[in-house]
Amino acid sequence: MSNDKYDVIIGLEIHVQTNTKSKMFCNCPTGYFQKEPNTQVCPVCLGLPGALPLPNKRAIELCILMGLATNCNIADEIYFDRKHYFYPDLPKGYQISQYKRPICSDGYVDLDNEVRIEIERIHQEEDVAKSTHHIEKNTNKEYSLIDYNKSGVPLIEIVTKPCIRSAKDAKDFATKIRQIARYLGISDADMEKGQMRCEPNISVQEKGKWEYKDGKILPIGEYRLNAKVEVKNIGSITAVEKSIEYEVERLIEEIENGKEIVQQTRGWNADKGVTEFQRSKETADDYRYMPEPDIPVIQVSKDDIDRISKEMIELPHEKVKRYMDNWGISKYSAEVISSTIENARYFEKLQEVLARSLNEKDAAIEASNWLMGTVYAIGNLDIDINDLAVLILAFKDGILTKNKAEEVLKDCIENSKDISDEVENIKKEKENTSGNIDTIIKEVLGKNEKAVNDYLNGKEASLGFLVGQVMQFTKGTANPNDVRDILIKELKK
């Protein structure tokens, strides 16, 4: 990217379907995935004349919860507006959304690199139906089908200020939003299923010729700002970054070739890895926003906020900080562990169980090491936490080596053996051999005269060989450090 001459300016709009049982303005179920088309519809979500919308309280609570998690101001009155556009997937001819007064405004999210992404607003709206386009085999006639099961599913739209300066930050912000939505049960935010959709708007401006003020990009002096483009159809977090990188290159090339950028909407073609022109962009006026007359103003009380706040849990960035500050976990490990609520819960529970036998910090470090080094590699969070703790403590007590412990763990998972039973067996075996350890060492020394002489003649490596021999006799149950110490003592006699 030839960024020595241009700055990249990105704003992001993210739509997230929220987890509710029923749709935004009717009682139809929201779970439309793989359902028979047009089986979850009613006059409201079909937009039939005379049908009246009734707002979904839970959806609004989840919108507020997202606002609280992203440091937004929460409005004490909720207004809905009609956003008009004509498209077959929008049966009423308008979407019920929010215009001037969103529920949540002026928030922010801090990225791991400490860049602050400012959120302009989070508003509540409804999803549209799903169109699919087909060609009839015999006649080659094109036709479209519409499934209204998705029509009216609750959506929140998160809009950032144009404060993002790199494709990577845009991607990281989208990742944070997805993480928060999942942590708080606001949404599963599965992008493949369309539960979360990202639409970046991008412009490039000459360095030093613009400024960022009050959430806006303003030209300096005579400079004319280049128009921005908006990219749609982004189906994954990686595609957020890729589509922006592609678009930045394209915009710079256009400008360098003396072409004027027209404000436009483009689609991301994931197969080709390119953006494609769709249409020149409507302005806000085109939507003919007007207040929704069928929904009265909704009051949000302090009690409402208090009740919703109870659903707030410790968020990933707070966990990272606590793991680092209280327990000395590395930033990287803390981030991986807290990346999903499932990982974080498992870690915290394991720490808690280990802390019954170890001090709090050691318990955390062991839990972190074992998750990062072993459990995530196995990819199995079904391992019983108490069993795993037994294994870890057996390792800490020197009953088995790390390698041996990992071997036991894998064996138990693959062959559905009980970890605690296995550790118990190893303990017994070890007790038997430890009484015999001196005998075993004497036997090994007797059998390996050459290695003994080599060691005595200064060949240090022979010691390793002898330790290995003893370990083999004890089936890996002895502590190799202890064996090494005893061997040295014996050899010096």
Binding site for Mn ion (CB under 5 A): 157
State which residue, 195 or 462, has the beta carbon closest to Mn ion: 195
- Residue 221 tokens, joined: 């002096």
State which residue, 32 or 347, has the beta carbon closest to Zn ion: 32
The alpha carbon of 477 is separated from its chain's Cα centroid by a whole number of angstroms, namely 41
Binding of residue 28 to Zn ion (CB under 5 A): yes
Residue 184 CB, shortest distance to Zn ion, in Å, is: 26
Residue 48 CB, shortest distance to Zn ion, in Å, is: 10
Residue with the shortest CB distance to Mn ion: 157
Q: Which stretch binds Zn ion (CB under 5 A): 19-27, 421-429, 439-447, 480-488?
A: 19-27
Question: What is each CA distance from 463 to 149, 161, 332, 445, 479, in whole angstroms?
Answer: 72, 65, 37, 11, 15
Are 199 and 239 a contacting pair, CB within 8 Å?
A: no
390 binds, among Zn ion, Mn ion, none (CB under 5 to 8 A by kind): none
State which residue, 26 or 189, has the beta carbon closest to Zn ion: 26
Residue 92 CB, shortest distance to Mn ion, in Å, is: 15
State which residue, 121 or 317, has the beta carbon closest to Mn ion: 121
Among 10, 14, 24, 45, binds Zn ion (CB under 5 A): 45
26 binds, among Mn ion, Zn ion, none (CB under 5 to 8 A by kind): Zn ion
* Binding residues among 247-266 for Zn ion as defined by CB under 5 A: none
Are 157 and 15 a contacting pair, CB within 8 Å?
A: yes
Query: Tokens 């935010």 appear where?
Result: 189
Number of H helices, E strands in the chain: 15, 18
State which residue, 155 or 163, has the beta carbon closest to Zn ion: 155
CA–CA distance, 104 with 386 (Å, rounded to integer): 43
157 binds, among Zn ion, Mn ion, none (CB under 5 to 8 A by kind): Mn ion
Single-letter amino acid, residue 299:
Q
State which residue, 157 or 172, has the beta carbon closest to Mn ion: 157
Binding of residue 26 to Zn ion (CB under 5 A): yes
Alpha-carbon torsion 354, 333, 239, 185, what sign?
A: positive
Residue 117 CB, shortest distance to Mn ion, in Å, is: 19
CA–CA distance, 405 with 422 (Å, rounded to integer): 10
Composition of the chain by helix, strand, coil, percent to 5: 40, 20, 35
Residue 409 CB, shortest distance to Mn ion, in Å, is: 48
Binding of residue 44 to Zn ion (CB under 5 A): yes
State which residue, 178 or 317, has the beta carbon closest to Mn ion: 178
Binding of residue 42 to Zn ion (CB under 5 A): yes
State which residue, 42 or 486, has the beta carbon closest to Zn ion: 42
28 binds, among Zn ion, Mn ion, none (CB under 5 to 8 A by kind): Zn ion
Q: How many CA atoms are closer than 13 Å to the CA of 461, on its beta-carbon side?
A: 0
Residue 52 CB, shortest distance to Zn ion, in Å, is: 12
45 binds, among Zn ion, Mn ion, none (CB under 5 to 8 A by kind): Zn ion
Residues near 352 by Cβ (< 8 Å), separated by ≥ 6? 363
Torsion of CA 464, 470, 473, 477, to 10 degrees: -90
CA–CA distance, 62 with 174 (Å, rounded to integer): 18
Residue 96 CB, shortest distance to Mn ion, in Å, is: 11
Binding of residue 51 to Zn ion (CB under 5 A): no
State which residue, 88 or 208, has the beta carbon closest to Mn ion: 88
Strands 264-269, 229-232: pairing kind: parallel
61 binds, among Zn ion, Mn ion, none (CB under 5 to 8 A by kind): none
- Residue 390 tokens, joined: 């037994």
Are 375 and 388 a contacting pair, CB within 8 Å?
A: yes
CA–CA distance, 155 with 347 (Å, rounded to integer): 32
State which residue, 107 or 154, has the beta carbon closest to Mn ion: 154
Residue 198 CB, shortest distance to Mn ion, in Å, is: 12
Residue 25 CB, shortest distance to Zn ion, in Å, is: 8
Torsion of CA 116, 118, 124, 127, to 10 degrees: -70
Burial class (CB in 10 A: 0-12, 13-18, 19+), 352: middle
Residue 196 CB, shortest distance to Mn ion, in Å, is: 13
CA–CA distance, 105 with 186 (Å, rounded to integer): 18
Binding region for Zn ion (CB under 5 A):
26, 28, 42, 44-45
